[in-house]
Chain A
């Protein structure tokens, strides 16, 4: 993946990737740390721009750290509502029919086959 390719991606996709990195980290992240976790694809200035845009939207919080800021996702009341909704949704097996989920439930056999498939070169 070259630098040019990543810089050309739509802004929305970059925002999603940066937000995902923040959530995955689970601790306040500086733009440098986010850039590092995303791989070599993005320039640090791009990451900084995206983070301040997310901050303007109010979906990430930031706190002073050294000369810059460290960013953390906002967990607001709305997030909690979403969580409750999601739990409710989990009880509804019919969701499978309309919503295309990333992965379906695995049977024990599936699990074994998957581990076998991943065996070569898998950590």
Chain B
């Protein structure tokens, strides 16, 4: 049982590299759905496993054993393992819950502030303009969906590039990308190994919106230029940059621009393989934690005298 429940705790470590490859090989929209679903499943399974360790530890204590109506001692791995595992699990769950609550509070506040800012009466279609010298734009999901753009951003881009920006933000709203981002956030707080996956999901959402925008304006190069110009305008002053630094650690924006400019499509076979690996990872985790829980339940029944070992 212990080994089975350790598996869901270890498998999330395999997802970050898989997610990065899925993002390279799959169509962005498909990558977004696959990675997010896998992250949520792996997060759920790891929390379940931690919960099982906590329960096992508690049922070892006489008080809880009496509460659980155990007539025989619960048959488990050595106490040398059970007690530390339970203590560690309690700690991990508490830390996860704490950071999650903090994040939810902060983000709902940020969203409220953004909604107030955009709730400016009648709007021109779905566009809400904010007078600000800082170039910025974001999708604001709600009823109705809005796109918020600062005047500085509108002045940075030409008319065609602005259409790219609008199409990009509309794709976020139409695709419900905020749900994926919220799920990524949730998963990241459940298991530390899922934190880098959050970045992959974020990038997948941007790439999906980029592709939708490129389709809408019918020009990938124009889409790439709009994104690059918007990003470069965000930099107030040209930074002094040491030239010897490798460009390998590129952030999300150059990746997006490069993807739009290259239009490289890998073989569908490679895409199918990587998707299958991600799904297999989630499935194994599910099966392991379910089997572990069933086994744990069986042991409890035995200890309660309801079943024979």
> Which chain A residues have a beta carbon within 8 Å of chain B's beta carbons?
1, 10-21, 23-24, 26, 37-39, 54, 57-59, 73, 75, 78-83, 85-90, 92, 94-95, 97-115, 117-118, 122
Contacts and interface: CB of A to CB of B under 8 A. Distances in A.
Contacts of A111: 232, 235, 238-239, 241
Interface of B: 103, 106-107, 109-111, 113-114, 116-118, 120-132, 134, 136-140, 147, 149-151, 153-155, 157, 159-160, 162-163, 165-166, 168-170, 172, 177-178, 181-182, 185, 205-206, 209, 217-218, 224-225, 227-228, 230-232, 234-235, 238-242, 245-247, 249-254, 257-258, 261
A56 to B, nearest CB: 9
Majority SS at the chain A contact face: helix
Nearest to A94: B106
Contacts of A57: 122, 124
Majority SS at the chain B contact face: helix
Contact of A82 (B131, B159, B247): B131
Contacts of B169: 100, 102
Contacts of B227: 102-103
Given A82-B131, A87-B132, A23 B151 contact: yes
The 7 closest A-B pairs by CB, nearest first: A12-B125, A19-B124, A108-B241, A16-B127, A85-B117, A16-B125, A15-B125
Contact of B232 (A78, A98, A115): A115
A39 B124 contact: no
B155 A82 contact: no
Contacts of A99: 110-111, 114, 138-140, 178
Given A98-B185, A102-B138, A111-B241, 18 more contacts: A16-B124, A21-B159, A24-B159, A78-B121, A82-B117, A83-B130, A85-B116, A95-B114, A97-B110, A97-B181, A100-B206, A101-B138, A102-B227, A108-B241, A108-B242, A111-B238, A117-B224, A117-B258
A8 B15 CA distance: 44
